[in-house]
Chains A and B, each alone.
Chain A
Amino acid sequence: MFKLNSSSFEQTIEAGVKLGKLLLPGDLLNLNGDLGAGKTLFVKGVGMGLGVEQDFITSPTFAIINEYEGGSHPLYHFDLYRLETELELEQIGYLDYFYGDGITAVEWGNLFEEFLPEERLDITLESMGLDARDITFTGKGKRGKMLEEKMRGLF
C-alpha cells in the first residue's frame, strides 16, 4: 500500500497523469471514495497521461460507461454508483471491458468487488479538507503490485 498526500486539485490530476503514462492494455483501476472525493478528476489525469484530450473526459454517472479513443490505448471509464444488481452489471457487458484490450477505470468498483479481475490497482481517494486528498494505491496481483511500486518510485 502506498499513500500519497495531495494538497491540491492540480496534484491530484498530476498523480493521475503519472499513473496514466504507466498503463498498458488490460490494466484495470478500481477507484473508490465518497461523492466529490475526486474519482472523475483522477481519471481525467489518467486519460491525459494516455494522451486523451482532457475536455472529453467527463463524469460517466449518466451513461454508466464513457469510452475515450484518441489516446495511446482506448480508455473505458465506468461508474457503478447507480447499479444495484449483478444482472445489471452483466447487462452492461462488463466482461468485454474488464478482460478486454483497453484500459479500464471503474468508479465505485468496490460495490461489485467480487466481479473485478484479480489483477488490478485499487485507488482510494479520501477528502482531507477543502482540496486536500489522501490517495491510496493498493496493487492486487503481480501487475497491480508492479504498478503500485512504480507509483511509489515516482514520488
Chain B
Amino acid sequence: MKSGLTLGIETSCDETAAAIVKDGTEVISNVVLSQIDIHQKYGGVVPEIASRHHIEAIFPVINEALDKANVSLEDIEVIAVAYGPGLVGSLLVGVAAAKSLAFATQKPIVGVNHIEGHIYANFLDGQSVTPPLVCLTVSGGHTDLLLIPRLGEYEIIGRTRDDAAGEAFDKVARVLGLPYPGGPQIEKLALEGNKGAIHFPRGLQEHGNFDFSFSGLKTAALNYLNQAKQKDEMVDLPDFAASFQWAIIDILTEKLMAAAEKYGVNQVVLSGGVAANSTFRNYVQKCVDERGLELLYPPVHFCTDNAAMIASAGYFRYNAGYRSDYSLNAVANLRLGDK
C-alpha cells in the first residue's frame, strides 16, 4: 500500500511512544507516555522498572496513535522501530511489538538507530536538511558528535570518554537536592546567576580533539560544594548553577564549532534532551550566525524521545530500499553505521 504512512515505535529509555507520520515529514499523531514520575524517586531511570512499564503501555500507546490519526493498521505502509542504542530490556518491548504487528499484517519493518532518529526530528518541523552537516546529540545517556556527509551516512567524530553531559547535570542537581531530571532545574536556577562567578575546568580542551569529558567538571563542582560546606560558607546557588551550566555549554559549543569549521559544513544540528536547554541553544545560535552557518534544532517537543522522529528516519531508510526482517533484535550499544 502506497499511503506514505509510517507507524513509528520508540521504547529505548523511559518513554513509551508511537506516532503516525506521512511521507516522513508530516506528523499525523504523536503519543508519548513518559515514566518520568515513576523514575523521579530513583534519581534516574531504573532499567527493569522501565521495561515492565513499557510492556503495560506499548499497545495502548500504539492504539492511541492510530486512533488520533484516524487510521487503521491496514492503512500503514511501513512500521519503523528504534532497536538501539538504549536499555536492552526497554528496546526489546518496542522491537517485539513492531515485529508482531509486522508479522500479523504482513507490512514491511525497518529498524532505526535511535540517535539517527534524533537527527530526523528536524524534518518534522518542515526544515530542509542539507548535508554535509555536523550533529551534536546531548542527553542523559549520550554525548555524540556526528558528521553526516550525505543522508544515510554517518561518522562519529566525538563522544564522551566518561560521563554524558546530561549525567553531569543530573548528578550535580542530585547533590543540590533538586529533582530529576537535573538539567531543566539547573537552567532555571542559572537564569538569576552570573556565569563568570566560578571558573570550572573544561575537559579535553586541546585543539582538534572532538571527544568530551565531563567527569572532571562534575568532580570540580562537587569539590566546590564540599569545600563551602566544610568552611560553613553559603553557596550562591544561582551563580553556582550558571557557572556550572556555562562550563558545559562552553565546551560543547567550542567543539561543535571546531568540527563545523574542520569539515566545512553548511548546517549544524542539535538534538537530544539537552538541546531543549534554551541558554545552550541561544549561545550556539549566536556562534553559528557569526560563522554564516545555519542552525537546525527540532521544536522542543521533538527534542526529547518520541516516535515521530523514528517514523521519519524509518520512512527515509525504507525509501532508500532498506528493510529489516523478523530477526531484528535490540542492540543496547548500537552504534551509527552498524547494521
Which A residues lie at the B interface, using CB under 8 A? 9, 34-38, 40-41, 44, 54-55, 58-59, 61-64, 82-84, 88, 91-92, 127, 130
A96 CA to B238 CA, complexed, in Å: 45
CB distance from A74 to the nearest CB of B (A): 14
**Chain B residues, Cβ within 8 Å of A55:** 159, 161, 211
Tally B residues with Cβ within 8 Å of A. Answer: 29
Stretch of B215-223, B242-250, B276-284, B314-322 that contacts chain A: B215-223
**Cross-chain contact A61 with B171 (CB below 8 angstroms):** yes
Give the residue name and chain of the A residue nearest to B140 (CB).
A62
CB distance from B131 to the nearest CB of A (A): 26
A38 CA to B141 CA, complexed, in Å: 19
Which B residues lie at the A interface, using CB under 8 A? 42-49, 87, 140-141, 159-164, 167, 171, 175, 211, 215-216, 218-219, 222-223, 226, 332
Instruction: Pick the contact of A35: B47, B175, B211, B332 (CB < 8 A).
Output: B175
CB distance from B336 to the nearest CB of A (A): 15
**Cross-chain contact B42 with A130 (CB below 8 angstroms):** no
**Cross-chain contact B163 with A58 (CB below 8 angstroms):** yes
**Cross-chain contact B48 with A62 (CB below 8 angstroms):** no
Given contacts A62-B141, A63-B87, contact A35 B42 (CB under 8 A): no
**Chain A residues, Cβ within 8 Å of B222:** 34-36
CB distance from A99 to the nearest CB of B (A): 19
**Chain A residues, Cβ within 8 Å of B42:** 82-84
Give the residue name and chain of the B residue nearest to A92 (CB).
B48
Give the residue name and chain of the B residue nearest to A65 (CB).
B47
Give the residue name and chain of the B residue nearest to A34 (CB).
B222
**Cross-chain contact A59 with B49 (CB below 8 angstroms):** no
**Chain B residues, Cβ within 8 Å of A130:** 223
Instruction: Pick the contact of B44: A41, A61, A92, A127 (CB < 8 A).
Output: A61
**Chain B residues, Cβ within 8 Å of A91:** 48
**Chain B residues, Cβ within 8 Å of A41:** 162, 215
17 examples of A-B residue contacts, CB within 8 angstroms: A35-B175, A36-B219, A36-B222, A40-B162, A40-B163, A41-B162, A41-B215, A55-B211, A58-B162, A59-B164, A61-B167, A62-B167, A63-B87, A63-B332, A64-B46, A82-B42, A92-B47
**Cross-chain contact A35 with B171 (CB below 8 angstroms):** yes
Give the residue name and chain of the B residue nearest to A9 (CB).
B216
A84 CA to B41 CA, complexed, in Å: 10
CB distance from A126 to the nearest CB of B (A): 12
**Chain A residues, Cβ within 8 Å of B160:** 58
Which 9 pairs between the two chains have the least Cβ-Cβ distance? Answer: A36-B219, A91-B48, A62-B141, A36-B222, A59-B163, A82-B44, A82-B42, A55-B161, A35-B222
**Chain B residues, Cβ within 8 Å of A54:** 161
**Chain A residues, Cβ within 8 Å of B211:** 55
**Cross-chain contact B141 with A63 (CB below 8 angstroms):** yes
CB distance from B173 to the nearest CB of A (A): 12
Given contacts A35-B171, A55-B161, contact A62 B215 (CB under 8 A): no
**Chain A residues, Cβ within 8 Å of B46:** 64, 82-83, 88
Interface centre among B48, B171, B226 (most CB of A within 10 A): B48
Interface centre among A35, A36, A61 (most CB of B within 10 A): A36
Give the residue name and chain of the A residue nearest to B163 (CB).
A59
**Chain A residues, Cβ within 8 Å of B216:** 9
Interface centre among B141, B163, B215, B216 (most CB of A within 10 A): B215
Given contacts A40-B215, A130-B223, contact A59 B162 (CB under 8 A): yes
A83 CA to B226 CA, complexed, in Å: 24
Give the residue name and chain of the A residue nearest to B332 (CB).
A63
**Chain B residues, Cβ within 8 Å of A58:** 160-164
CB distance from B240 to the nearest CB of A (A): 15
Give the residue name and chain of the A residue nearest to B49 (CB).
A88
**Cross-chain contact A59 with B87 (CB below 8 angstroms):** no
Give the residue name and chain of the B residue nearest to A41 (CB).
B215
**Chain B residues, Cβ within 8 Å of A92:** 47-48
**Cross-chain contact B43 with A62 (CB below 8 angstroms):** no
**Cross-chain contact A62 with B223 (CB below 8 angstroms):** no
Given contacts A88-B46, A91-B48, contact A61 B163 (CB under 8 A): yes
**Chain B residues, Cβ within 8 Å of A37:** 219
Give the residue name and chain of the B residue nearest to A61 (CB).
B167
**Cross-chain contact A59 with B44 (CB below 8 angstroms):** no
A25 CA to B39 CA, complexed, in Å: 34
**Chain B residues, Cβ within 8 Å of A38:** 219
A83 CA to B46 CA, complexed, in Å: 7
**Cross-chain contact B47 with A64 (CB below 8 angstroms):** yes
**Cross-chain contact A36 with B164 (CB below 8 angstroms):** no
